[in-house]
Amino acid sequence: LGVREHLDIPKIHSLLHYVDSITWFGTTDNYNTEMMEHFHINFCKERWYASNHCNEMPQMISWLIRREKVKFLQYIDVLYLKSMS
């Protein structure tokens, strides 16, 4: 029937080495949560503090839109100054 009498399958065997590998070398970059935590700080907490905490979602969205417009205008100014020099 082709049924295995042992569990010496490469994927299963490699599971035995994961704990030691993580202990010795740490996790891979793919499992780092620092970026998402920083993303949460930048895109949620700052907007929350800028609101009056009543009906906060529209306030947070309008704050973000205004912030993006300001950043875009600053970018345009930089491009204009570069073109003038």
In tens, the pLDDT along 50-72 reads 888 888 888 888 888 888 899 99
- DSSP letters, 34-70, are HHHHHHHIIIIIHHHHHS-SSSHHHHHHHHHHHHHHH
**What rounded mean pLDDT belongs to the chain?**
79
- pLDDT computed for residue 7 by the predictor: 65
- pLDDT computed for residue 84 by the predictor: 85
- pLDDT computed for residue 70 by the predictor: 92
* Inter-residue contact 40 to 60 (CB < 8 Å): no
Give the global pTM.
0.46
User: If you average pLDDT over residues 17-24, what whole number do you get?
Assistant: 83
How far is the C-alpha of 9 from the C-alpha of 14, rounded, in Å? 9
